[in-house]
Amino acid sequence: METGNTQTETQNNKTKDTTVAVIAYLTFIGLIIAFVMNNEKKDAFAAYHIKQSLGLTVCGIAVFAVGMIPVLGWLVSFFGSIFLLYLWIMGLINSINGKLKPVPVLGDKFEEWFRNV
């Protein structure tokens, strides 16, 4: 039987974990802050979304680098940026809703690539 105090404490921990997961999607600085905040506690939910956000950040850097190539790179960068925006929105929505669901297409790869993070 769970007491009211324990239940409130559990809910506060879940809220904090969700907050850390959402912060991970808010800019590169937010990703670093979320990583540091989760480093103390090592919550699986927050770590999952930190990995997803890290993968999106790495892909964003790659799309930016491709965008430096004239014409064809610009096109790839434009459409890649739109695709990454879609993935970012999906990841953010999943973290807000408390779901451990990978971002479409690349989410499983992010888990594989960053399993040691």
| Domain boundaries defined on the chain | 13-113
- Predicted confidence at residue 40, as pLDDT, reads 75
Residue 46's nearest CA partner among 30, 61, 60 is 30
- Predicted confidence at residue 9, as pLDDT, reads 54
- Predicted confidence at residue 70, as pLDDT, reads 92
Distance CA 20, CA 95 (A): 9
Percentage of the chain exceeding pLDDT 70:
88
Judged against a pLDDT cut of 70, whether residue 6 lies above it is answered with no
7 — pLDDT class (breaks 50, 70, 90): low
Judged against a pLDDT cut of 70, whether residue 10 lies above it is answered with no
Note the pLDDT tens digit of each residue in 12-34.
Answer: 556 777 888 899 999 889 889 88
- Count, in order, helices (H) and strands (E) of the chain: 5, 0
| Average of per-residue pLDDT across 28-45 | 86
Judged against a pLDDT cut of 50, whether residue 61 lies above it is answered with yes
- Predicted confidence at residue 1, as pLDDT, reads 46
Evaluate the CA torsion angle 5, 10, 16, 18 in order and state its sign: negative
Whether residue 109 contacts residue 55, with contact meaning beta carbons closer than 8 Å, is answered with: yes
